[in-house]
Structure 1
Protein backbone atom coordinates (compact mmCIF):
# COMPACT_ATOMS: atom_id res chain seq x y z
CA UNK A 1 0.00 0.00 0.00
CA UNK A 2 1.24 3.47 -0.92
CA UNK A 3 -0.19 6.79 0.22
CA UNK A 4 0.53 10.06 -1.57
CA UNK A 5 -0.70 13.42 -0.27
CA UNK A 6 -1.45 15.32 -3.48
CA UNK A 7 -2.78 18.40 -1.68
CA UNK A 8 -3.30 19.44 1.94
CA UNK A 9 -4.68 22.50 3.69
CA UNK A 10 -7.38 25.13 3.34
CA UNK A 11 -6.50 25.60 -0.35
CA UNK A 12 -7.31 21.99 -1.17
CA UNK A 13 -7.08 18.37 -0.06
CA UNK A 14 -6.53 15.23 -2.11
CA UNK A 15 -5.03 11.89 -1.06
CA UNK A 16 -4.13 8.96 -3.32
CA UNK A 17 -4.11 5.44 -1.88
CA UNK A 18 -2.58 2.80 -4.15
CA UNK A 19 -2.61 -0.98 -4.12
CA UNK A 20 -0.66 -2.39 -7.02
CA UNK A 21 -1.91 -0.63 -10.13
CA UNK A 22 -5.26 0.38 -8.57
CA UNK A 23 -5.81 3.76 -6.93
CA UNK A 24 -8.54 5.51 -5.01
CA UNK A 25 -8.66 9.19 -4.07
CA UNK A 26 -9.90 10.61 -0.81
CA UNK A 27 -11.27 14.06 -1.68
CA UNK A 28 -10.60 16.12 -4.79
CA UNK A 29 -10.19 19.62 -3.43
CA UNK A 30 -7.94 21.22 -6.04
CA UNK A 31 -8.62 21.93 -9.71
CA UNK A 32 -8.99 18.86 -11.90
CA UNK A 33 -5.93 19.85 -13.94
CA UNK A 34 -3.84 19.95 -10.76
CA UNK A 35 -5.10 16.53 -9.70
CA UNK A 36 -4.16 15.07 -13.06
CA UNK A 37 -0.73 16.74 -12.99
CA UNK A 38 0.05 15.62 -9.44
CA UNK A 39 -1.03 12.06 -10.14
CA UNK A 40 1.33 11.93 -13.12
CA UNK A 41 4.12 13.39 -10.99
CA UNK A 42 3.70 10.33 -8.75
CA UNK A 43 3.65 7.98 -11.74
CA UNK A 44 -0.09 7.38 -11.38
CA UNK A 45 -2.18 7.30 -14.53
CA UNK A 46 -5.54 9.05 -14.00
CA UNK A 47 -7.22 6.12 -15.77
CA UNK A 48 -6.09 3.87 -12.89
CA UNK A 49 -8.22 5.76 -10.37
CA UNK A 50 -10.95 3.32 -9.37
CA UNK A 51 -13.07 5.64 -7.21
CA UNK A 52 -13.13 8.94 -5.36
CA UNK A 53 -14.38 9.13 -1.76
CA UNK A 54 -15.55 12.49 -0.41
CA UNK A 55 -15.17 13.32 3.27
CA UNK A 56 -17.51 16.32 3.06
CA UNK A 57 -18.72 18.91 0.59
CA UNK A 58 -16.63 21.97 1.48
CA UNK A 59 -14.85 23.55 -1.45
CA UNK A 60 -11.36 22.56 -0.34
CA UNK A 61 -12.45 18.92 -0.56
CA UNK A 62 -14.63 18.86 -3.72
CA UNK A 63 -13.37 21.63 -6.04
CA UNK A 64 -11.82 19.16 -8.49
CA UNK A 65 -14.66 16.63 -8.69
CA UNK A 66 -15.21 17.38 -12.41
CA UNK A 67 -12.06 15.26 -12.76
CA UNK A 68 -14.38 12.29 -12.16
CA UNK A 69 -16.61 13.22 -15.09
CA UNK A 70 -13.67 13.44 -17.47
CA UNK A 71 -12.32 9.99 -16.57
CA UNK A 72 -15.71 8.36 -15.71
CA UNK A 73 -14.76 7.65 -12.10
CA UNK A 74 -17.45 6.74 -9.53
CA UNK A 75 -17.68 9.21 -6.64
CA UNK A 76 -18.76 8.05 -3.18
CA UNK A 77 -20.22 10.44 -0.59
CA UNK A 78 -22.80 10.28 2.16
CA UNK A 79 -26.37 11.12 1.25
CA UNK A 80 -26.14 14.26 3.35
CA UNK A 81 -23.10 15.53 1.50
CA UNK A 82 -24.61 14.81 -1.93
CA UNK A 83 -27.12 17.55 -1.16
CA UNK A 84 -24.28 20.07 -1.57
CA UNK A 85 -22.43 18.46 -4.50
CA UNK A 86 -23.60 19.55 -7.95
CA UNK A 87 -20.53 18.93 -10.12
CA UNK A 88 -20.67 15.14 -10.61
CA UNK A 89 -22.61 13.42 -13.39
CA UNK A 90 -25.62 11.56 -12.01
CA UNK A 91 -24.54 8.11 -13.17
CA UNK A 92 -21.24 8.48 -11.26
CA UNK A 93 -22.88 9.34 -7.92
CA UNK A 94 -22.60 6.58 -5.31
CA UNK A 95 -23.98 6.81 -1.77
CA UNK A 96 -21.95 5.94 1.30
CA UNK A 97 -23.87 4.30 4.13
CA UNK A 98 -22.54 2.70 7.32
CA UNK A 99 -21.50 -0.56 5.69
CA UNK A 100 -18.27 -1.49 3.96
CA UNK A 101 -17.75 -0.68 0.29
CA UNK A 102 -16.06 -3.41 -1.70
CA UNK A 103 -14.01 -2.49 -4.74
CA UNK A 104 -11.70 -4.71 -6.75
CA UNK A 105 -8.60 -4.01 -4.62
CA UNK A 106 -10.02 -2.05 -1.68
CA UNK A 107 -12.45 -2.45 1.17
CA UNK A 108 -13.49 0.98 2.41
CA UNK A 109 -15.28 1.53 5.72
CA UNK A 110 -16.77 4.98 6.40
CA UNK A 111 -17.01 6.38 9.90
CA UNK A 112 -18.70 9.47 11.32
CA UNK A 113 -16.66 12.58 12.12
CA UNK A 114 -17.62 15.91 13.70
CA UNK A 115 -17.55 18.95 11.44
CA UNK A 116 -19.88 21.69 10.20
CA UNK A 117 -21.16 19.70 7.24
CA UNK A 118 -24.36 17.71 6.77
CA UNK A 119 -22.95 14.18 7.08
CA UNK A 120 -19.12 14.21 7.07
CA UNK A 121 -17.11 11.00 7.01
CA UNK A 122 -13.65 9.59 7.57
CA UNK A 123 -12.49 6.41 5.86
CA UNK A 124 -10.62 3.26 6.82
CA UNK A 125 -9.18 1.59 3.73
CA UNK A 126 -8.01 -2.02 3.66
CA UNK A 127 -6.13 -3.92 0.97
CA UNK A 128 -4.18 -7.16 1.07
CA UNK A 129 -1.15 -4.87 1.51
CA UNK A 130 -2.33 -3.15 4.70
CA UNK A 131 -4.70 -0.58 6.18
CA UNK A 132 -4.83 3.20 5.91
CA UNK A 133 -7.11 5.51 7.90
CA UNK A 134 -7.98 9.03 6.76
CA UNK A 135 -9.39 11.46 9.31
CA UNK A 136 -9.49 15.05 8.12
CA UNK A 137 -11.82 17.81 9.34
CA UNK A 138 -13.28 16.92 12.76
CA UNK A 139 -13.75 18.68 16.09
CA UNK A 140 -12.75 15.66 18.15
CA UNK A 141 -11.92 11.97 17.88
CA UNK A 142 -14.54 9.72 19.44
CA UNK A 143 -14.10 6.15 20.73
CA UNK A 144 -16.02 4.96 17.66
CA UNK A 145 -13.55 6.75 15.39
CA UNK A 146 -10.61 5.23 17.26
CA UNK A 147 -12.13 1.77 16.83
CA UNK A 148 -12.57 2.30 13.10
CA UNK A 149 -8.97 3.50 12.67
CA UNK A 150 -7.29 1.00 14.97
CA UNK A 151 -4.54 -1.30 13.72
CA UNK A 152 -3.76 0.84 10.69
CA UNK A 153 -0.38 0.85 9.00
CA UNK A 154 -0.85 4.44 7.80
CA UNK A 155 -2.66 7.32 9.48
CA UNK A 156 -3.58 10.49 7.60
CA UNK A 157 -4.96 12.89 10.19
CA UNK A 158 -5.33 16.62 10.55
CA UNK A 159 -3.33 18.67 13.02
CA UNK A 160 -5.02 21.93 12.24
CA UNK A 161 -4.11 24.47 14.89
CA UNK A 162 -2.66 25.51 18.21
CA UNK A 163 -5.53 26.87 20.36
CA UNK A 164 -3.57 29.85 21.72
CA UNK A 165 -2.66 30.92 18.19
CA UNK A 166 -6.36 30.79 17.27
CA UNK A 167 -7.28 32.88 20.30
CA UNK A 168 -4.91 35.74 19.37
CA UNK A 169 -5.42 35.70 15.59
CA UNK A 170 -7.36 38.48 13.85
CA UNK A 171 -10.23 36.31 12.65
CA UNK A 172 -13.82 37.06 13.76
CA UNK A 173 -14.82 35.57 17.09
CA UNK A 174 -17.43 33.41 15.38
CA UNK A 175 -14.75 31.82 13.20
CA UNK A 176 -12.50 31.23 16.21
CA UNK A 177 -15.37 29.54 18.03
CA UNK A 178 -16.03 27.30 15.02
CA UNK A 179 -12.38 26.22 14.73
CA UNK A 180 -12.17 25.39 18.44
CA UNK A 181 -15.54 23.62 18.60
CA UNK A 182 -15.53 19.94 19.53
CA UNK A 183 -18.73 19.35 17.57
CA UNK A 184 -18.06 21.17 14.27
CA UNK A 185 -14.43 22.32 14.31
CA UNK A 186 -10.90 21.09 13.67
CA UNK A 187 -8.37 19.07 15.62
CA UNK A 188 -5.68 20.88 17.56
CA UNK A 189 -2.14 19.50 17.69
CA UNK A 190 -2.82 18.23 21.20
CA UNK A 191 -6.06 16.48 20.23
CA UNK A 192 -4.24 14.80 17.35
CA UNK A 193 -1.42 13.71 19.62
CA UNK A 194 -3.86 12.32 22.19
CA UNK A 195 -5.70 10.34 19.52
CA UNK A 196 -2.53 8.94 17.97
CA UNK A 197 -1.24 7.94 21.41
CA UNK A 198 -4.21 5.56 21.61
CA UNK A 199 -3.54 4.17 18.13
CA UNK A 200 0.20 3.90 17.60
CA UNK A 201 1.81 0.64 18.75
CA UNK A 202 5.38 1.38 17.68
CA UNK A 203 5.30 -1.13 14.82
CA UNK A 204 6.60 1.21 12.16
CA UNK A 205 3.34 2.96 11.42
CA UNK A 206 3.44 5.94 9.08
CA UNK A 207 1.75 9.16 10.15
CA UNK A 208 0.93 12.11 7.91
CA UNK A 209 -0.12 15.28 9.73
CA UNK A 210 -2.27 17.26 7.32
CA UNK A 211 -4.62 20.22 6.98
CA UNK A 212 -2.41 22.56 9.04
CA UNK A 213 -3.73 26.11 9.32
CA UNK A 214 -1.54 28.61 7.51
CA UNK A 215 -2.05 31.24 10.20
CA UNK A 216 -2.70 29.22 13.37
CA UNK A 217 -0.07 26.49 13.30
CA UNK A 218 3.60 25.82 12.64
CA UNK A 219 4.92 22.54 11.25
CA UNK A 220 7.58 21.99 13.90
CA UNK A 221 5.07 22.75 16.67
CA UNK A 222 2.64 20.16 15.30
CA UNK A 223 5.42 17.59 14.99
CA UNK A 224 6.84 18.20 18.47
CA UNK A 225 3.41 18.08 20.11
CA UNK A 226 2.58 14.73 18.53
CA UNK A 227 6.04 13.31 19.26
CA UNK A 228 5.64 14.26 22.91
CA UNK A 229 2.33 12.40 23.13
CA UNK A 230 3.83 9.33 21.45
CA UNK A 231 6.79 9.06 23.85
CA UNK A 232 8.51 6.72 24.67
CA UNK A 233 8.13 5.66 21.04
CA UNK A 234 10.69 7.42 18.82
CA UNK A 235 9.98 9.06 15.47
CA UNK A 236 12.12 7.47 12.77
CA UNK A 237 12.47 4.22 14.70
CA UNK A 238 9.14 3.07 16.12
CA UNK A 239 6.97 5.11 13.77
CA UNK A 240 7.55 7.53 10.89
CA UNK A 241 5.92 10.96 10.99
CA UNK A 242 5.70 13.54 8.21
CA UNK A 243 4.08 16.98 8.37
CA UNK A 244 2.44 17.88 5.06
CA UNK A 245 1.57 21.47 4.21
Structure 2
Protein backbone atom coordinates (compact mmCIF):
# COMPACT_ATOMS: atom_id res chain seq x y z
CA UNK A 1 0.00 0.00 0.00
CA UNK A 2 1.14 3.53 -0.79
CA UNK A 3 -0.30 6.71 0.71
CA UNK A 4 0.29 10.23 -0.60
CA UNK A 5 -0.90 13.38 1.15
CA UNK A 6 -1.56 15.68 -1.81
CA UNK A 7 -2.99 18.57 0.22
CA UNK A 8 -3.52 19.25 3.91
CA UNK A 9 -4.92 22.08 6.01
CA UNK A 10 -7.71 24.63 5.95
CA UNK A 11 -6.79 25.41 2.34
CA UNK A 12 -7.79 21.92 1.26
CA UNK A 13 -7.30 18.21 1.89
CA UNK A 14 -6.59 15.40 -0.57
CA UNK A 15 -5.27 11.90 0.20
CA UNK A 16 -4.41 9.24 -2.38
CA UNK A 17 -4.34 5.54 -1.44
CA UNK A 18 -2.86 3.06 -3.91
CA UNK A 19 -2.52 -0.71 -3.91
CA UNK A 20 -2.25 -3.39 -6.59
CA UNK A 21 -2.93 -0.94 -9.38
CA UNK A 22 -6.02 0.54 -7.73
CA UNK A 23 -6.32 4.11 -6.46
CA UNK A 24 -8.90 5.89 -4.35
CA UNK A 25 -8.93 9.45 -3.07
CA UNK A 26 -10.11 10.53 0.36
CA UNK A 27 -11.44 14.08 0.03
CA UNK A 28 -10.83 16.45 -2.86
CA UNK A 29 -10.57 19.83 -1.15
CA UNK A 30 -8.52 21.83 -3.65
CA UNK A 31 -9.29 22.92 -7.21
CA UNK A 32 -9.63 20.20 -9.84
CA UNK A 33 -6.65 21.43 -11.85
CA UNK A 34 -4.43 21.40 -8.76
CA UNK A 35 -5.48 17.85 -7.94
CA UNK A 36 -4.67 16.76 -11.49
CA UNK A 37 -1.23 18.36 -11.24
CA UNK A 38 -0.42 16.83 -7.84
CA UNK A 39 -1.61 13.39 -8.92
CA UNK A 40 0.70 13.48 -11.91
CA UNK A 41 3.58 14.64 -9.68
CA UNK A 42 3.30 11.40 -7.67
CA UNK A 43 2.81 9.23 -10.75
CA UNK A 44 -0.97 8.81 -10.69
CA UNK A 45 -3.04 9.42 -13.80
CA UNK A 46 -6.24 11.31 -12.97
CA UNK A 47 -8.23 9.01 -15.26
CA UNK A 48 -7.11 5.98 -13.21
CA UNK A 49 -8.91 6.95 -9.99
CA UNK A 50 -11.40 4.24 -8.99
CA UNK A 51 -13.39 6.16 -6.36
CA UNK A 52 -13.54 9.26 -4.19
CA UNK A 53 -14.47 9.04 -0.49
CA UNK A 54 -15.74 12.20 1.19
CA UNK A 55 -15.39 12.72 4.94
CA UNK A 56 -17.78 15.68 5.02
CA UNK A 57 -19.05 18.46 2.80
CA UNK A 58 -17.04 21.48 3.98
CA UNK A 59 -15.36 23.22 1.07
CA UNK A 60 -11.81 22.28 2.08
CA UNK A 61 -12.84 18.65 1.53
CA UNK A 62 -15.07 18.86 -1.56
CA UNK A 63 -13.88 21.84 -3.64
CA UNK A 64 -12.36 19.59 -6.31
CA UNK A 65 -15.41 17.40 -6.93
CA UNK A 66 -15.62 18.53 -10.59
CA UNK A 67 -12.81 15.98 -10.98
CA UNK A 68 -15.42 13.25 -10.51
CA UNK A 69 -17.59 14.48 -13.37
CA UNK A 70 -14.63 14.96 -15.71
CA UNK A 71 -13.28 11.43 -15.21
CA UNK A 72 -16.55 9.67 -14.31
CA UNK A 73 -15.36 8.69 -10.82
CA UNK A 74 -17.92 7.36 -8.31
CA UNK A 75 -18.20 9.52 -5.18
CA UNK A 76 -19.01 7.98 -1.80
CA UNK A 77 -20.36 10.04 1.11
CA UNK A 78 -22.79 9.54 3.96
CA UNK A 79 -26.47 10.07 3.28
CA UNK A 80 -26.38 13.11 5.55
CA UNK A 81 -23.47 14.77 3.76
CA UNK A 82 -25.15 14.44 0.37
CA UNK A 83 -27.55 17.11 1.63
CA UNK A 84 -24.68 19.60 1.27
CA UNK A 85 -22.78 18.22 -1.73
CA UNK A 86 -23.72 19.84 -5.01
CA UNK A 87 -22.69 19.47 -8.62
CA UNK A 88 -21.91 15.75 -8.79
CA UNK A 89 -23.54 13.94 -11.70
CA UNK A 90 -26.38 11.78 -10.38
CA UNK A 91 -24.99 8.52 -11.82
CA UNK A 92 -21.78 9.02 -9.80
CA UNK A 93 -23.42 9.48 -6.40
CA UNK A 94 -22.99 6.63 -3.92
CA UNK A 95 -24.18 6.46 -0.30
CA UNK A 96 -21.46 5.17 1.99
CA UNK A 97 -22.56 2.34 4.25
CA UNK A 98 -20.61 1.09 7.24
CA UNK A 99 -18.62 -1.54 5.36
CA UNK A 100 -18.34 -2.16 1.65
CA UNK A 101 -15.98 -3.24 -1.10
CA UNK A 102 -14.90 -0.25 -3.18
CA UNK A 103 -12.67 -1.08 -6.11
CA UNK A 104 -10.27 -3.61 -4.54
CA UNK A 105 -10.42 -2.06 -1.07
CA UNK A 106 -12.48 -3.10 1.93
CA UNK A 107 -13.68 0.24 3.30
CA UNK A 108 -15.12 0.69 6.78
CA UNK A 109 -16.59 4.06 7.69
CA UNK A 110 -17.00 5.31 11.24
CA UNK A 111 -18.78 8.30 12.72
CA UNK A 112 -16.73 11.30 13.82
CA UNK A 113 -17.69 14.48 15.66
CA UNK A 114 -17.76 17.64 13.57
CA UNK A 115 -20.23 20.39 12.78
CA UNK A 116 -21.54 18.75 9.62
CA UNK A 117 -24.61 16.61 8.93
CA UNK A 118 -23.00 13.15 9.10
CA UNK A 119 -19.18 13.30 8.95
CA UNK A 120 -17.15 10.13 8.62
CA UNK A 121 -13.70 8.70 9.09
CA UNK A 122 -12.43 5.75 7.07
CA UNK A 123 -10.39 2.61 7.53
CA UNK A 124 -9.25 1.15 4.21
CA UNK A 125 -7.80 -2.35 3.80
CA UNK A 126 -6.20 -3.63 0.60
CA UNK A 127 -6.20 -7.18 -0.75
CA UNK A 128 -3.03 -8.16 1.17
CA UNK A 129 -4.37 -6.82 4.47
CA UNK A 130 -2.52 -3.52 4.75
CA UNK A 131 -4.65 -0.87 6.42
CA UNK A 132 -4.79 2.91 6.46
CA UNK A 133 -7.07 4.84 8.82
CA UNK A 134 -8.13 8.42 8.14
CA UNK A 135 -9.39 10.58 10.99
CA UNK A 136 -9.68 14.21 9.98
CA UNK A 137 -12.07 16.87 11.29
CA UNK A 138 -13.43 15.77 14.66
CA UNK A 139 -13.71 17.32 18.11
CA UNK A 140 -13.05 14.10 19.99
CA UNK A 141 -12.09 10.46 19.53
CA UNK A 142 -14.26 7.81 21.16
CA UNK A 143 -13.83 4.08 21.75
CA UNK A 144 -15.73 3.09 18.60
CA UNK A 145 -13.39 5.20 16.48
CA UNK A 146 -10.38 3.63 18.18
CA UNK A 147 -11.77 0.15 17.55
CA UNK A 148 -12.30 0.90 13.84
CA UNK A 149 -8.72 2.13 13.43
CA UNK A 150 -6.94 -0.67 15.31
CA UNK A 151 -4.10 -2.56 13.60
CA UNK A 152 -3.42 0.00 10.88
CA UNK A 153 -0.10 0.37 9.12
CA UNK A 154 -0.88 4.02 8.35
CA UNK A 155 -2.61 6.57 10.60
CA UNK A 156 -3.66 9.85 9.01
CA UNK A 157 -4.79 12.11 11.83
CA UNK A 158 -5.83 15.70 12.22
CA UNK A 159 -3.55 17.52 14.68
CA UNK A 160 -5.19 20.88 14.29
CA UNK A 161 -4.12 23.22 17.08
CA UNK A 162 -2.13 23.79 20.21
CA UNK A 163 -4.74 24.73 22.81
CA UNK A 164 -2.70 27.50 24.47
CA UNK A 165 -1.96 29.13 21.12
CA UNK A 166 -5.63 29.04 20.19
CA UNK A 167 -6.77 30.44 23.53
CA UNK A 168 -4.33 33.38 23.20
CA UNK A 169 -5.09 33.99 19.53
CA UNK A 170 -7.06 36.93 18.17
CA UNK A 171 -9.85 34.63 16.98
CA UNK A 172 -13.34 35.67 18.15
CA UNK A 173 -14.47 33.82 21.25
CA UNK A 174 -17.22 32.14 19.24
CA UNK A 175 -14.67 30.67 16.82
CA UNK A 176 -12.43 29.53 19.68
CA UNK A 177 -15.41 27.83 21.31
CA UNK A 178 -16.31 26.08 18.05
CA UNK A 179 -12.79 24.73 17.50
CA UNK A 180 -12.46 23.56 21.12
CA UNK A 181 -15.89 21.92 21.22
CA UNK A 182 -16.65 18.23 20.83
CA UNK A 183 -17.70 18.96 17.24
CA UNK A 184 -14.67 21.08 16.41
CA UNK A 185 -11.08 20.00 15.80
CA UNK A 186 -8.50 17.86 17.58
CA UNK A 187 -5.71 19.49 19.56
CA UNK A 188 -2.17 18.15 19.45
CA UNK A 189 -2.71 16.55 22.85
CA UNK A 190 -5.98 14.87 21.84
CA UNK A 191 -4.35 13.46 18.73
CA UNK A 192 -1.35 12.18 20.67
CA UNK A 193 -3.57 10.53 23.26
CA UNK A 194 -5.63 8.82 20.56
CA UNK A 195 -2.51 7.54 18.83
CA UNK A 196 -1.20 6.22 22.15
CA UNK A 197 -4.17 3.83 22.13
CA UNK A 198 -3.45 2.70 18.57
CA UNK A 199 0.28 2.48 17.96
CA UNK A 200 1.80 -0.94 18.69
CA UNK A 201 5.38 -0.08 17.75
CA UNK A 202 5.48 -2.30 14.65
CA UNK A 203 6.68 0.35 12.21
CA UNK A 204 3.45 2.24 11.75
CA UNK A 205 3.53 5.41 9.69
CA UNK A 206 1.84 8.41 11.33
CA UNK A 207 0.85 11.38 9.18
CA UNK A 208 -0.24 14.46 11.12
CA UNK A 209 -2.44 16.65 8.95
CA UNK A 210 -4.89 19.56 8.89
CA UNK A 211 -2.68 21.79 11.09
CA UNK A 212 -3.86 25.32 11.75
CA UNK A 213 -1.51 27.85 10.17
CA UNK A 214 -2.27 30.31 12.98
CA UNK A 215 -2.57 28.16 16.09
CA UNK A 216 -0.02 25.40 15.66
CA UNK A 217 3.54 24.65 14.62
CA UNK A 218 4.56 21.49 12.75
CA UNK A 219 7.39 20.73 15.16
CA UNK A 220 5.11 21.25 18.15
CA UNK A 221 2.51 18.84 16.77
CA UNK A 222 5.21 16.26 16.06
CA UNK A 223 6.92 16.58 19.45
CA UNK A 224 3.61 16.28 21.32
CA UNK A 225 2.89 12.92 19.73
CA UNK A 226 6.48 11.73 20.15
CA UNK A 227 6.41 12.67 23.85
CA UNK A 228 3.17 10.81 24.56
CA UNK A 229 4.24 7.71 22.62
CA UNK A 230 7.57 7.67 24.46
CA UNK A 231 5.64 7.12 27.69
CA UNK A 232 4.44 3.85 26.15
CA UNK A 233 8.05 2.90 25.43
CA UNK A 234 7.95 3.62 21.71
CA UNK A 235 10.87 5.36 19.99
CA UNK A 236 10.41 7.44 16.87
CA UNK A 237 12.19 6.08 13.77
CA UNK A 238 12.64 2.74 15.52
CA UNK A 239 9.14 1.66 16.47
CA UNK A 240 7.16 4.02 14.21
CA UNK A 241 7.63 6.85 11.73
CA UNK A 242 5.98 10.26 11.84
CA UNK A 243 5.55 13.04 9.29
CA UNK A 244 3.75 16.37 9.52
CA UNK A 245 1.90 17.86 6.57
TM-score (norm 2): 0.98
TM-score (norm 1): 0.98
Deviations 1:60-107 (A, max 9, x none): 000000100000000000011000011211110000122x12023101
Deviation >3 Å, runs of 4+: none
Distance 2:219 2:171 in 1: 23
Confirm or deny that 1:197 pairs with 2:205.
no
Other-structure match for 2:36: 36
Other-structure match for 2:235: 234
Other-structure match for 1:163: 163
Other-structure match for 1:16: 16
Q: Does the 8 A contact of 2:51 with 2:103 survive in 1?
A: no
- Offset of residue 32 of structure 1: 0.4
Q: Where do 5+ consecutive residues of structure 2 fail to align? A: none
Paired residue secondary structure (1:27): strand
Paired residue secondary structure (2:29): coil
Q: Does the 8 A contact of 2:81 with 2:119 survive in 1?
A: yes
Other-structure match for 2:220: 221
Confirm or deny that 1:124 pairs with 2:144.
no
Distance 1:45 1:96 in 2: 25
Distance 1:34 1:21 in 2: 22
Paired residue secondary structure (1:67): helix
Deviations 1:142-194 (A, max 9, x none): 00000000000000000000111111111111100000002x11000000000
Other-structure match for 2:104: 105
Distance 1:58 1:101 in 2: 24
Q: In terms of mean alpha carbon deviation, does 24-33 or 226-235 score higher? A: 226-235
Other-structure match for 2:45: 45
Confirm or deny that 1:6 pairs with 2:6.
yes
Paired residue secondary structure (1:156): strand
Paired residue secondary structure (1:235): coil
Paired residue secondary structure (1:79): coil
